[in-house]
Chain A
Amino acid sequence: MRRISYREALNEAMMQEMERDPNVFVYGLDVSDHKRIFGSTVGLVEKFGAERCFGTPLSEDAMTGFGLGAAINGLRPIHIHIRVDFMILAMNQIVNMVSSCRYTSAGKLKVPLVIRAVIGRGWGQGFQHSKSMHSVFAHIPGLKVVLPTTPRDVKGLLISAIRDDNPVIFMEHRWLYDTIGEVPEDPEAIPLGESNILRSGNDITVVATSWLNVEALKAAEVMQKHGISVEVVDPRTISPLNDKLILESVKKTGHCIVADDDWLNCGFSAEVAARVSEFCFKDLKSPVSRIGFAATPCPTTRPLENKFYPNAIDIIKSIESKLELQPLDLSNEEFYSYENKFRGPF
């Protein structure tokens, strides 16, 4: 199958959906400038015109309510935030209006609104260009929250998000944009609300979100050399969460690490831990472990930033500790560095 990048897959999903459905449009700050949201909106304004792809004032809150107004009247807006940190300005609309609109109209209105946001680590981005926040959105009934990891998933899940009649928060890790993987050319819709086993294994389960799946896969590859087989489960849609594959995996392995690309406290990792404890209690050979951001704002300086964000080594150490292994020699392993960009594979 053809291999393309995550950003190209994102772009292709929007391109194909805008071709298919004239009610789909894309808007947000800088969607049609020369940088095109890290390349993900390339070609849209040229192909569909400024009516269906336009930049906006820095009015994140009103432009979200604007999307709601468009959605309840039959259009299918895609609102884009180049960083989730700006989307926080729209919390009032998202939490007070978008999420509740269908419910409080007793089902008379539907809200086919997609809000795309770039999340996670960049390059010395500090505390306002670096967050994920998906746990906050997953807390709100009425929203769907999707975190695609692979290029194939990002295309297929975005297609489903656009076709969905509910508001979907669609979160894309900045580092994933450079990942390459197999993506079908046809518009393949991957259903929302289904987890995915990224790597099968028998000894331990790692439930990871977004970029941390890349780190978990690296950790699994390292552990394999030492005879430990790690299963990596990507929930993909964290709300509403279909926990079937997660629970089946933990019942099989008896060990669970949740590596969430977010803060831990009251977060998605806690939700997974609670469900695993509730439904896999008798199968657990060790308590659920959690890996996530340090409980601090994100610092800018590299040594502290390295410590703030978890990575494959943290996952390896957690596996060693849970399985009571001797610490491995990792000196010959090559781990991901943003300086090198991503080269795959997926």
Chain B
Amino acid sequence: MKRKELNVELYKKVYLIRKTEEKIREHYMEDEMKTPVHLSIGEEAIAAGVCMALNVEDQIFGTYRNHGIYLAKTGETDRFFAELYGKQTGVAKGKAGSMHISASELNFLGASAVVATIIPVAMGTSFVNKWKNNGKLVAVFFGDGALDEGAFWESLNFACLKELPIIFVCEDNGLAIHSPTSDRQGYRSISDIVSKFECNVFREETTDPEVIYRITCNAIQLQKNNHKPCFLHFKYYRYLEHVGINQDFKFGYRSEDEFKRWYKMDPVTLQRKKLLENAHSEKELQEIESEIDKQIDNSVKSAQKAPFPDESELFKDVYA
């Protein structure tokens, strides 16, 4: 893909994520989306950049903070919003909600709210890909909080031991809920530690989806050559509270100045500016944006109108 096209595609992804999350903020107080939301605002570059570098058939996994990767991977918003509204037309008929949203038919295979818990499942999936020699990659997304749980280390160890085709993507916002890494981690650098494993390690602090995309492409290439798993460590800033739609600087556990520093490099603004500098007109961008706005509006409207699942759905699919 040419650089110009690539940047348009990346912009579509970050814009879709940002606008979807803002749409949720707009409607959330109506109390019709009865599901706790952990919004991806601030994280868009990572979701967009990594997913852009993956093939369609590559599989992803995530945590409760999963809207960004869901949208970057699938591009679809109809069943997404229906799931948040708890409707029959939702991607899991409302049984998953925001925290566990996934779409196996679009190769987003699962999301867990117990943060590192999804990582072993991703690792098992990559084992199957290696077993079948089908060339598929797995990318598993998690925050720095997941590093505190044993399942991460157990999975990293086994993936390195067995040379599994998996990319661990650590989206590091420096906070597990409200606890900063300085209160939780007895080591200086996660990248240093992981680099002692038989693993390809990349680390970057950027809000540029193109940079994330290039790093991921390099990681994938390296993985194909040396068969070692990859660990991508990306810093980002969570704009909003841990769960919910509001800012939470007033509680004093982090400073608004930090937010302001990061906001100067806002991924969506940055990518838009880049497109304008790369010979795209304001009009072109507005067309792209209005197309996405329309998609989101339509999805919300049809989700609102859709029926709830019948009560009998409660007992379905406990067993196969």
Contact = CB atoms under 8 A, between A and B. Distances in A.
Task: Say what secondary structure dominates the interface of chain B.
Answer: helix
Contacts of A73: 124-125, 128-129
B62 to A, nearest CB: 14
Contacts of A71: 124
Contacts of B109: 72, 109
B316 A57 contact: no
Q: How large is the interface on A (under 10, 10 to 19, 20 to 34, 35 or more residues)?
A: 35 or more
Nearest to A165: B320
Interface stretch (B5-13, B149-157, B167-175): B149-157
B207 to A, nearest CB: 31
A66 B127 contact: yes
Contact of B120 (A61, A106, A107, A166): A61
A56 B158 contact: yes
Given A63-B158, A106-B95, A240-B319, A68 B112 contact: no
Given A70-B125, A92-B151, A105-B92, A57 B161 contact: yes
B117 interface: yes
Interface stretch (A6-14, A93-101, A179-187, A251-259): A93-101
Interface stretch (B32-40, B98-106, B191-199, B265-273): B98-106
A101 B102 CA distance: 11
Contacts of B222: none
Interface in A72-109: 72-75, 92-93, 96-97, 101-109
B122 interface: yes
Nearest to A107: B317
Given A61-B151, A63-B120, A92 B158 contact: no
A62 interface: yes
Interface in B70-113: 91-93, 95-96, 100, 102, 104-105, 109-110, 112
A43 interface: no
Given A65-B151, A97-B112, A108-B104, A70 B158 contact: no
A66 B120 contact: yes
Given A61-B154, A104-B95, A109-B104, 5 more contacts: A61-B150, A106-B91, A107-B317, A109-B109, A142-B319
Interface of A: 51, 56-57, 59, 61-75, 92-93, 96-97, 101-111, 141-142, 144, 164-166, 240
For the complex of A and B, list the 5 residue pairs with the smallest distance between their C-beta atoms, beginning with the closest.
Answer: A69-B124, A65-B120, A62-B154, A59-B154, A107-B317
